[in-house]
Amino acid sequence: MKIELRALSEDNIEQCFKLKVAGDQMQYIASNEDSWKTAEENGNVARPFAIYCDGKMVGFTMFAFDDDYEDPNDRYWLWRFMIDEGLQGKGYGTAALQVIIRYFKDHGANNIRLSTKETNSNALSLYRKAGFHETGEMNGEETVLQLDL
């Protein structure tokens, strides 16, 4: 299983917009199209990518890299991470998360932060298995998790 992150372009953006999470997960994550709009509004820090496995698009992710932010613990965020509903449960999420972590390490991050609702048990399980831990902080109604690199 070869996972890679590819920048969104005219060649793949429409396909990315068609990817969807399972119905019961929609409450936890914005659509990829809405995430793209957020990326355009935050072009100085947002880094959106399509996730590919063996040349096939399987998901979407977006990072926030703000090297100028005052608090070094709040500079690097995993803003979005999804695997298409028809491809979940096949190991893509676990494999992609390892590639994402490597990306952060390779680009100088000292940690990765993310937030999700406490009821998002599947995502929390995935993140905890990868080494993320709760910080005790809240981001609105979401709990903040951090992985120290």
Provide the CATH number for the domain around residue 136: 3.40.630.30
Residue 49's closest CA among 85, 87, 16? 16
Per the model's pLDDT, the better-predicted residue between 135 and 68 turns out to be 135
- Is 66 a residue whose pLDDT tops 90? no
Cα separation, 90 vs 95, whole angstroms: 10
Domain tally, the chain: 1
- Is 18 a residue whose pLDDT tops 90? yes
Average pLDDT over residues 105-121: 94
SS3 31: coil
Show the domain range for 142: 3-148
Average pLDDT over residues 67-71: 74
| Percent of the chain residues topping a pLDDT of 70 | 99
Average pLDDT over residues 115-144: 95
- Is 144 a residue whose pLDDT tops 90? yes
SS3 101: helix
Q: How does residue 118 score in pLDDT terms, banded at 50, 70 and 90? A: very high
Q: How does residue 72 score in pLDDT terms, banded at 50, 70 and 90? A: low
Average pLDDT over residues 65-87: 87
Q: Between the CA of residue 115 and those of 54, 77, 127, 130, 132, what are the distances in Å?
A: 29, 9, 10, 15, 11
- Is 88 a residue whose pLDDT tops 90? yes
- Is 114 a residue whose pLDDT tops 70? yes
DSSP letter at 125 equals H
